[in-house]
């Protein structure tokens, strides 16, 4: 009998690798039997590190996670704002974030840069859809200075006209560069298709960025940067009480205000299977992105859904990887995931494949989606994925910054307070029946969008067999149907 099962030709079933674990640490047998993997005990238990937290009278939530393994400290200030509040000016939140370290009421952009650089400190801000994050990092012996620069950037940005112009120029160059990047194009088109006119579906263009005015930036900062709309995590080689007291002193006088409401539109409904082809004539590969509406981050099934997803495309042992890479050799890698935000989400499966097999690879992704929904996942395969996720969660605890981010996610997305304490347990509790129920509820292979970024001349015809095809240019505008573009034959 084989100690290890061979994957069946279809990569469908996997025998237990973990059957009957002996509850001892791994140890070498007296006489080595190479034919078996050594037995291992159960996953180690690990407690989350202790944190200290406090909410200031102005509403700012502070959390400190002491970590003495490195002589550094990171401050992560999160504003519960972001592109969600861009309104009619896509790019506004991002531009505002990028200007925080480009000059304040006390320091010019040059002074800010040279002073922070000189101490090896970095203060960087960025905006995503749901949050603006300002990260200040440096050696722990400059803790006071780091906090000072953070305070200055967050509370007193100057928004000087000259700096706004520079930042716009930089941003516009980046947007041009993004239009050459196939993955970026695919993700933006997906967002537009799934989220429509909701802010999650919008993206900045050179025109929208050019049009942003100083008064909009100032107003955005005034209305969004509120302590009762923010949280601060401090991770590193600090004394927690002292760190709290210093943060308190730094942000005590930050005045609270009324939390603004974003103008939101409902997401469109996705009906049937439609193909959206971005013509990138230089492409020697097609970037395929199969997507459907997903779930908001605080969906109560979110941890369990990670297991279902992992079976499909969570890593090197997922079905997409086994099928598209190891069986067909179509791609370097194929993965899937639930990308979730505060108010909604997308489920996506991706692969980059050679032009000739674009439709064939897309069909294989469809097949895997159907199989996930229609057939019970064998317990052994599910067991592999549960342990994969639980073990990798454990490994991620090496990184305390990541832990602090997770703690902030609880506030940002309104997750249950014990979310991370119970997370690994919830992963390991998923049965085949539960997985089936979730797959049926959340995976719908009959209603989805397929975004392909590739060379239309070589892939369009193949794709037409899968559904109606709309062709876009790299500015993501639909191009009119003109077969006349083809040379007048010979």
Partner 1 sequence: MKLRFLTPALPLLAAATLCAADPAASPLPSPSSAPSPTPILKMPVIEYTEYDLANGLHVILHQDRSVPVVATYVHYHVGSKNERPDRTGFAHFFEHLMFEGSKNIPRGQIDKLVSAAGGNLNASTSFDRTDYYFNLPSNQLGLGLWIESERMLHAQIDETGVETQRSVVKEERKTSVDNAPYGSVFENLASMVFEGTPYEWVPIGSVQYIDQATIEEFRDFYRHYYVPNNATLVVAGDIDLPETKKLIETYFGPIPRGKEIERPKFTLEPQKEAKKRSVELPTTPLPATLHAWRGPKETSPDAPALELLADILATGRSSRLYERIVRQEQSGNDVSVFPYLLENGGVIGIFVIGNPDSKLEKLDATLEEEIARVREKGVSAEELQKAKNQKISRLATAYSTMKQRAVFLADFHVMYGDTGLINRQLERIEGVTPEQIQEVARKYLDPKKNNILHYPVARDASPS
Cβ closer to partner 1: 79 or 273? 79
Q: How far is Cα 407 from Cα 405, in angstroms, rounded to an integer?
A: 5
Q: Look at the alpha carbons of 310, 315, 316, 321 in this order and tell me if their dihedral is positive or negative.
A: positive
Q: How many CA atoms lie within 13 A of 343 on its CB side?
A: 21
By the 10 Å C-beta count (0-12 exposed, 13-18 middle, 19+ buried), 63 is classed as buried
Residue in 105, 106, 114, 441 binding partner 1, rule: CB under 8 A: 114
Q: Could you say which residues in the range 203-222 bind partner 1, by CB under 8 A? A: none
Q: Look at the alpha carbons of 65, 70, 71, 75 in this order and tell me if their dihedral is positive or negative.
A: negative
- Distance between start and end Cα atoms, the chain: 64
Site map (CB under 8 A) of partner 1, residues 452-481, x = contact: -----x---------------x--------
Cβ closer to partner 1: 44 or 483? 44
Q: How far is Cα 234 from Cα 137, in angstroms, rounded to an integer?
A: 10
Q: How many CA atoms lie within 13 A of 450 on its CB side?
A: 31
Q: For residues 163 and 103, is the Cβ–Cβ distance under 8 A? A: yes
Q: Does 117 contact partner 1 by CB under 8 A? A: yes
From the list 149-157, 185-193, 319-327, 367-375, the region that binds partner 1 by CB under 8 A is 319-327
Residue in 40, 262, 270, 466 binding partner 1, rule: CB under 8 A: 40
Residue in 81, 89, 228, 322 binding partner 1, rule: CB under 8 A: 322
CB of 255 to partner 1, least distance (A): 29
The 3-class secondary structure across 225-275, one letter per residue, is CCHHHEEEEEEECCCHHHHHHHHHHHHCCCCCCCCCCCCCCCCCCCCCEEE
Residue in 12, 54, 59, 119 binding partner 1, rule: CB under 8 A: 119
Cβ closer to partner 1: 33 or 464? 33
Cβ closer to partner 1: 18 or 214? 18
- The CB density around residue 139, as the number of other CB atoms within 10 Å, is 17
Cβ closer to partner 1: 55 or 399? 399
From the list 53-61, 300-308, 380-388, 408-416, the region that binds partner 1 by CB under 8 A is 380-388
Residue in 207, 326, 374, 446 binding partner 1, rule: CB under 8 A: 326
Q: Does 376 contact partner 1 by CB under 8 A? A: no
Q: How far is Cα 379 from Cα 14, in angstroms, rounded to an integer?
A: 9
| SS3 label, residue 110 | helix
CA-wise closest residue to 216 among 159, 133, 153 = 159
From the list 24-32, 51-59, 77-85, 210-218, the region that binds partner 1 by CB under 8 A is 24-32
- The CB density around residue 457, as the number of other CB atoms within 10 Å, is 13
Q: How far is Cα 64 from Cα 53, in angstroms, rounded to an integer?
A: 6
Cβ closer to partner 1: 78 or 343? 78
Cβ closer to partner 1: 58 or 387? 387
Site map (CB under 8 A) of partner 1, residues 64-103, x = contact: -----xxxx---------------------x---x-----
Residue in 141, 300, 367, 433 binding partner 1, rule: CB under 8 A: 141
From the list 31-39, 152-160, 209-217, 435-443, the region that binds partner 1 by CB under 8 A is 31-39
By the 10 Å C-beta count (0-12 exposed, 13-18 middle, 19+ buried), 133 is classed as middle
Q: How far is Cα 294 from Cα 280, in angstroms, rounded to an integer?
A: 28
Cβ closer to partner 1: 172 or 270? 172
CB of 485 to partner 1, least distance (A): 9
Residue in 75, 85, 137, 423 binding partner 1, rule: CB under 8 A: 137
Q: Does 329 contact partner 1 by CB under 8 A? A: yes
Cβ closer to partner 1: 228 or 283? 283
Q: Could you say which residues in the range 258-317 bind partner 1, by CB under 8 A? A: 279, 281-285, 315-317
- Total residues in contact with partner 1, by rule CB under 8 A: 101
| SS3 label, residue 476 | coil
Q: How far is CA 187 from the centre of its chain?
A: 11
CA-wise closest residue to 348 among 417, 450, 261 = 450
CA-wise closest residue to 62 among 228, 222, 221 = 228
Q: Does 37 contact partner 1 by CB under 8 A? A: yes
CB of 189 to partner 1, least distance (A): 17
Residue in 52, 54, 166, 467 binding partner 1, rule: CB under 8 A: 166
Residue in 38, 57, 416, 465 binding partner 1, rule: CB under 8 A: 38
Pairing of strands 61-66, 469-472: unpaired
Q: What is the DSSP letter of 318?
A: S
Q: Does 20 contact partner 1 by CB under 8 A? A: no
């Amino acid at each position: 009998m084989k100690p290890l099962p061979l994957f069946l030709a279809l990569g469908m079933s996997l025998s237990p690798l973990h059957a009957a674990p002996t509850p001892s640490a791994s140890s070498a047998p007296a006489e080595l039997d190479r034919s078996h993997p050594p037995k291992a005990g159960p996953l180690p238990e690990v407690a989350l590190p202790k944190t200290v937290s406090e909410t200031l009278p102005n509403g700012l939530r502070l959390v400190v996670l002491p970590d003495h393994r490195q002589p550094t400290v990171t401050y992560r200030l999160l504003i519960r704002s972001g592109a969600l509040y861009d309104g009619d000016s896509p790019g506004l939140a991002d531009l505002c974030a990028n200007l925080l370290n480009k000059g304040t009421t006390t320091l010019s952009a040059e002074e800010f840069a040279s002073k922070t650089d000189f101490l090896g400190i970095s203060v960087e801000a960025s905006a995503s859809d749901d949050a603006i994050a300002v990260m200040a990092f440096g050696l722990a012996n400059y803790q006071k200075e780091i906090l000072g620069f953070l305070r200055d950037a967050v509370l007193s940005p100057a928004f000087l006209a000259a700096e706004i112009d520079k930042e716009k120029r930089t941003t516009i160059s980046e947007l041009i560069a993004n239009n050459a990047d196939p993955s970026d194009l695919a993700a933006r088109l997906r967002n537009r298709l799934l989220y429509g006119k909701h802010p999650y579906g919008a993206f900045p263009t050179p025109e929208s960025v050019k049009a942003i005015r100083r008064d909009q930036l100032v107003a955005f900062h005034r209305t969004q940067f509120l302590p009762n709309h923010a949280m601060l995590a401090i991770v590193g080689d600090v004394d927690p009480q002292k760190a709290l007291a210093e943060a308190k002193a730094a942000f005590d006088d930050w005045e609270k205000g009324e939390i603004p409401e974003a103008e939101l539109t409902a997401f469109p409904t996705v009906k049937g299977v439609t193909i959206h082809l971005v013509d990138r004539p230089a492409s020697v590969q097609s970037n395929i992105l199969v997507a459907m509406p997903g779930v908001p981050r605080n969906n109560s099934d979110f941890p369990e859904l990670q297991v279902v997803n992992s079976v499909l495309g969570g890593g090197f042992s997922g079905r997409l990887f086994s099928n598209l890479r190891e069986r067909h050799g179509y791609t370097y890698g194929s993965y899937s995931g639930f990308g979730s935000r505060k108010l909604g989400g997308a489920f996506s499966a991706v692969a980059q494949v050679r032009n000739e097999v674009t439709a064939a690879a897309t069909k294989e992704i469809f097949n895997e989606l159907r199989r996930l929904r229609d057939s019970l996942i064998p317990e052994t395969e599910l067991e592999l994925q549960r342990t994969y996720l639980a073990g990798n969660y454990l490994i991620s605890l090496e990184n305390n910054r990541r832990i602090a981010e997770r703690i902030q996610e609880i506030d940002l997305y309104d997750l249950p307070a014990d979310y991370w304490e119970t997370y690994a347990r919830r992963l390991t509790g998923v049965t085949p029946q539960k997985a089936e129920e979730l797959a049926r509820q959340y995976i719908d292979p009959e209603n989805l969008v397929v975004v392909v970024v590739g060379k239309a001349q070589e892939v369009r015809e193949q794709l037409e067999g899968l559904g109606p095809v709309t062709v876009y240019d790299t500015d993501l505008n639909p191009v009119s149907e003109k077969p006349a573009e083809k040379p007048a034959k010979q």
